[in-house]
Amino acid sequence: MEWFVLFMLIAIGLVLLILEFLVFPGVNIAGILGFACVVGAVWLAYSTMGTTVGHFTLLGTALCGFGVTYYVLRSKTWRRMQLHTQIDSTVEGVDESIREGDTGVTQGRLAPMGKVRVGDSVVEAESRSGYIEENREVIVLKVYKNKIVVKLKTE
């Protein structure tokens, strides 16, 4: 019965340590419990079965730990779980017909970001004049790939 408990503690400890490193990194609970199980198994071997069995348990646990770590990190098993797709899409940009100095009308409140209609295009805009209410005229100050910078048109 003591051998069974010893082997189960070592197995549970190694599984928890592997889970800590590969599945739950940063959580630390599985790693602490796994380390406690392995240390408990070694302590149990020393206290109940003697020094010789304790030394062999310590050596076997260390070798088993290094072997499992080597196998898990070197095997191609984890490559099956990896994502192999690439993202090749781009963000829809600002219409090329919009230029600095163009005027537009806010579609909603710019607080400080919102939508502005410039010509036939509705684009994301950033306000340099603070909050701008809906249906107010604005002037385009700068055109970026994904937004424009506007200010309130004062007459």
Residues of the chain with pLDDT below 70 are 75, 77-78, 81, 155
Say how many domains are in the chain. Answer: 2
Whether residue 6 sits in one domain with residue 70: yes
Angle ∠(39,44,49) on CA atoms, nearest 5: 140
What residue has token string 């790693």? 31
Q: Which domain holds residue 67?
A: 2-81
The verdict on residue 36 lying in a domain is yes
Integer Cα distance of 37 and 18 in angstroms: 13
Integer Cα distance of 138 and 124 in angstroms: 13
Whether residue 109 sits in one domain with residue 70: no
Whether residue 56 sits in one domain with residue 11: yes
Token pair, residue 63, equals 């070798």
User: pLDDT tens digit string along 131-146?
Assistant: 999 999 999 999 998 8
The verdict on residue 8 lying in a domain is yes
Identify the CATH number of the domain in which residue 136 sits.
Answer: 2.40.50.140
pTM of model > 0.75: no
Residue 72 CB neighbour total at 10 angstroms: 13
pLDDT at 63: 92
The verdict on residue 88 lying in a domain is no
Whether residue 75 sits in one domain with residue 6: yes
